[in-house]
Structure 1
Amino acid sequence: MKIIFAGTPPFAAVALEALIVAGYEITLVLTQPDRPSGRGMKPVASPIKLLALQHRLTLLQPATLKQPELHAQLEAADADIMVVAAYGLILPSPVLRIPRLGCLNIHASLLPRWRGAAPIQRALLAGDRETGITIMQMDQGLDTGAILLQRAVPIAPDDTAQTLHDKLALLGAQCIAEALTNLRQGTLTGLPQDEDAATYAPKLEKDEAEINWGDSAQAAHRAVQAFNPRPGAYAWISGVPLKIWQASVGVDTGGAPGEIVATGRDGIAVACGAGTLVLEVVQKAGGKKMSAGEFLLGHPLRPGDRFECRK
């Protein structure tokens, strides 16, 4: 089976490497153009590009998939199927029709729940108890195609967006291998999605990561987990942003939203709209991550001090 693979971030690289190891013939790899990154804003290759170069695979990095000349290159790859994982570009209908067996997408949710760009983070923010991988037959809609295979995974109480991403990346690689095996055997069938059950996972905006102290402590805790590692949950104190990398829900001790109700080696307890959020690992602007106890040695916060409520 000849495969075109389209993807960009580490999530996609796990799947591509699994297909390479399994011996599939990858006739062409698509990934997004190198993007400026870091303090020097130098162009950085995607994990998929690095993997393709390592295995000497034919690689294209188009900024768009609309050009007829690119369509000709895709047709020349003579692929049976295209596998897509977190590619980041929309596949127009002419591209969807090029592979003989169509295009399969590895999506990090149990569709139709959490269609869109940020399914992992949205599942955490919503307090979902499970998520998973869906292998979907792509069509022109936003994650609306037929479900070919699904596998669920529980969301652990201490999962962050990073740990859940890593679990789903491995599961996604297993699922696409299983789906391709079923496809070869003629046992892969599609199930239409229930449109009435669909929810959407829009792209994350940086201001979403600001803690709303008027929310419950549980909701604030979910935000800390969902925005770890990017962009990092944060709150304002004395006009300065403080990132919050790890927290827990404490007992309700009263206090106005944003008010510090206790400090100590184990954390900084801050009152929320309901309950208390205990900050355990924090980072000031330009500094390094440290425990709340370490932070307090240089920043003597006291009960009664307040985080700003900007939301």
Structure 2
Amino acid sequence: MTNVIFMGTPAFSVPILQQLLNDGLNVIAVVTQPDRPVGRKKVLTPPPVKVEAIHHSIQVIQPDKLKGSAELEEIISLKPDLIVTAAFGQLLPAELLEAPPLGCINVHASLLPELRGGAPIHHAIIQGKKETGITIMYMAEKLDAGDIISQEKVEITDKDDVETLHSKLSETGAKLLSQTIPLLLDKTAVRIPQDHSKATFAWNIKREEERIDWEKSGEEIYNQIRGLNPWPVAYTIYNGKPLKVYKAEKIEKRHDFPPGVIIEKTDQGPVISSGSGQSLLLTVLQPFGKKKMDASDFLRGAGSDMKIGEKVGNLDE
């Protein structure tokens, strides 16, 4: 029986762990990030992968940092045949990469060498890509730079957001891993070196990337909104406070207003002008200090004083 250690943290990783178990691999331990405070009340919450591991009575190891840690020595001492990672959140030190006889492989949510890094799903949508995919690769000390074993493309539709694409990629990753591991076991897996000159990076989203710049085109803003939904969420400024924008629809009818102007109030929500002559109908919002709501409810409540011709997006507005 092949002994496997799985390393992953968020919900994306859970179907991949489940696939390993469904395929009859002996998952001897799960390595994940420490429990973190979540929400306004800062409730200490375990990562989704830990919850799944406990459900299957699998040993859980939670290092704050792997390199030089007692947890690293413990992982190596378990003598896994194979280590599989998926959105674990830390680079693996050389001594761990060299430990398992079958190597360390990673399930990454992009078509490498494009979108290396921690937020490939967000950036694929924000950049307006029409497709992305899953890459299964041998791990290297450099971020997402190892040799490719297998890849599968996934379409990005105009209606996809992070949540829907996350689900599609997670499911695809689990299936592709199921097809790939037998190649590792019978030693027929290929190694395709990446073209590092074509590498692009998808760093974790920064706060300043969440704010909507209404000077941008309607298409760019639309991609930003769905590329940050449901987390960490795009926002604009209204009445001097952040107004989160979860969902919007593109309005193709051209306008002559300056960017960031409320040009219409509809039954579905406010329509805001962009810098390209397009406008956006905001449909799901979250006012500062309140819950997420349909924009129609917002206009009847916290946004009832919105006026046509008023501008959003500036701190002094």
Q: Shorter chain as normaliser: what TM range?
A: over 0.9
| Structure 2 CA distance for aligned equivalents of residues 26 and 72 of structure 1 | 18
Match of 1:289 among 281, 292, 297: 292
| Partner in structure 1 of residue 254 of structure 2 | 252
- Greater shift after overlay, 141-150 or 39-48? 39-48
| Structure 2 CA distance for aligned equivalents of residues 277 and 309 of structure 1 | 17
| Partner in structure 2 of residue 267 of structure 1 | 269
| Partner in structure 1 of residue 280 of structure 2 | 277
| Partner in structure 2 of residue 60 of structure 1 | 61
- Greater shift after overlay, 128-137 or 235-244? 235-244
| Partner in structure 2 of residue 72 of structure 1 | 73
| Partner in structure 1 of residue 306 of structure 2 | 301
Paired positions, count = 310
Deviation at 1:133, TM superposition (A): 0.3
| Structure 2 CA distance for aligned equivalents of residues 80 and 106 of structure 1 | 17
Deviation at 1:74, TM superposition (A): 2.1
- Alignment-mate amino acid for residue 303 of structure 1: I
- Greater shift after overlay, 105-114 or 290-299? 290-299
TM-score by length of 2: 0.94
Please give the residue correspondences for 1:103-142 in structure 2 after superposition, counting only pairs within 5 Å: 103-142=104-143
Deviations 1:74-99 (A, max 9, x none): 23222111001111112110111111
- Greater shift after overlay, 168-177 or 293-302? 293-302
Partner of 2:83, secondary structure, is strand
Partner of 1:262, secondary structure, is strand
**Pairwise CA RMSD:** 1.4
Deviation at 1:187, TM superposition (A): 2.2
Deviation at 1:68, TM superposition (A): 6.0
Counterpart check, 1:15 vs 2:16: yes
Structure 1 stretches lacking a partner, 5+ long: none
| Structure 2 CA distance for aligned equivalents of residues 69 and 239 of structure 1 | 49
Deviation at 1:308, TM superposition (A): 2.6
CA contact (8 A) 1:65 1:95 kept: no
CA contact (8 A) 2:107 2:137 kept: yes
| Structure 2 CA distance for aligned equivalents of residues 244 and 40 of structure 1 | 23
- Alignment-mate amino acid for residue 140 of structure 2: D
| Structure 2 CA distance for aligned equivalents of residues 293 and 81 of structure 1 | 52
Partner of 1:84, secondary structure, is strand
| 1:68/1:245 CA distance change after superposition, 3 Å | closer
Deviation at 1:207, TM superposition (A): 2.1
| Structure 2 CA distance for aligned equivalents of residues 185 and 234 of structure 1 | 50
Partner of 2:27, secondary structure, is strand
State the identity as a percent: 37
| Structure 2 CA distance for aligned equivalents of residues 128 and 80 of structure 1 | 37
Structure 2 stretches lacking a partner, 5+ long: none
| Structure 2 CA distance for aligned equivalents of residues 82 and 128 of structure 1 | 31
- Greater shift after overlay, 126-135 or 68-77? 68-77
| Structure 2 CA distance for aligned equivalents of residues 292 and 37 of structure 1 | 26
Partner of 1:116, secondary structure, is coil
Partner of 2:12, secondary structure, is helix
- Greater shift after overlay, 252-261 or 125-134? 252-261
CA contact (8 A) 1:257 1:309 kept: no
Deviation at 1:71, TM superposition (A): 3.8
| Structure 1 CA distance for aligned equivalents of residues 26 and 231 of structure 2 | 34
TM-score by length of 1: 0.96
| Structure 1 CA distance for aligned equivalents of residues 8 and 292 of structure 2 | 31
| 1:158/1:68 CA distance change after superposition, 3 Å | closer
| Partner in structure 2 of residue 49 of structure 1 | 50
| Structure 1 CA distance for aligned equivalents of residues 27 and 73 of structure 2 | 17
Deviations 1:47-86 (A, max 9, x none): 1111111111122111111236434322322211100111
CA contact (8 A) 1:74 1:98 kept: no
CA contact (8 A) 2:123 2:227 kept: yes
| Structure 2 CA distance for aligned equivalents of residues 249 and 70 of structure 1 | 50
- Greater shift after overlay, 146-155 or 282-291? 282-291
| Structure 1 CA distance for aligned equivalents of residues 70 and 288 of structure 2 | 47
- Alignment-mate amino acid for residue 269 of structure 2: G
| Structure 1 CA distance for aligned equivalents of residues 45 and 292 of structure 2 | 25
Partner of 2:284, secondary structure, is strand
Deviations 1:15-34 (A, max 9, x none): 00111122110112111111
| Partner in structure 2 of residue 32 of structure 1 | 33
